[in-house]
Chain A
Amino acid sequence: MAGTTLSTATATGAAFSSVGQNSAENATYANLKASSATLYKIAVDNTAGAGAVYEKLYDSATPTVGTDGPEVIIPALAAQKTVVTFAKAGGSGGVANFGTALSAACVQEKGTAGTTSPAASVVTTIAYT
Chain B
Amino acid sequence: MSITNSGTDNPFGVREHENTSISTTAINNISLGPTYLTSIDISSANADPTFLKLYNTTSAVTVGTTAPDMIIPIPASWVGTVHVEAYDSDGDKLKGLYFSNGLAYTATEDAGTAGTTAPGSAVYVLIRHED
Give the B-binding residues of A (Cβ under 8 A): 39, 47-48, 54, 59, 68-75, 77, 79-89, 95-97, 109-113
A–B pairs, 13, beta carbons within 8 Å: A69-B111, A72-B71, A73-B68, A81-B86, A82-B86, A83-B83, A83-B86, A84-B83, A86-B80, A86-B82, A87-B82, A96-B75, A112-B113
The 8 A CB mask of B84-126 against A (1 = contact, 0 = none) is 1111110000100110000000000011111100000000000
| B88 and A39 within 8 A (CB) | no
Q: In residues 25-82 of chain B, which contact A (Cβ within 8 Å)? A: 49, 51, 66-75, 78-82
Interface residues on B, range: 20 to 34
A residues within 8 A CB of B113? 69, 111-113
- A95–B66 Cα distance when bound, in Å, is 25
| B69 and A110 within 8 A (CB) | yes
Given contacts A87-B80, A109-B67, contact A95 B75 (CB under 8 A): yes
Give the A-binding residues of B (Cβ under 8 A): 49, 51, 66-75, 78-89, 94, 97-98, 110-115
| A75 and B79 within 8 A (CB) | no
| A47 and B89 within 8 A (CB) | yes
Query: Contact check: which of A86, A95, A111 meets B67 at CB < 8 Å?
Result: A111
B residues within 8 A CB of A110? 67-69
B residues within 8 A CB of A84? 82-85
Look across to chain B and name the residue whose beta carbon is closest to the beta carbon of A109. B67
| B85 and A82 within 8 A (CB) | yes
B residues within 8 A CB of A112? 67, 112-114
| A97 and B70 within 8 A (CB) | no
| A77 and B71 within 8 A (CB) | no
Look across to chain A and name the residue whose beta carbon is closest to the beta carbon of B51. A71
A residues within 8 A CB of B51? 71
B residues within 8 A CB of A82? 84-86, 97
A residues within 8 A CB of B80? 86-89, 95
Query: Closest CB of chain B to A97's CB: distance in Å?
Result: 4
A residues within 8 A CB of B72? 72
- A72–B98 Cα distance when bound, in Å, is 18
| B87 and A73 within 8 A (CB) | no
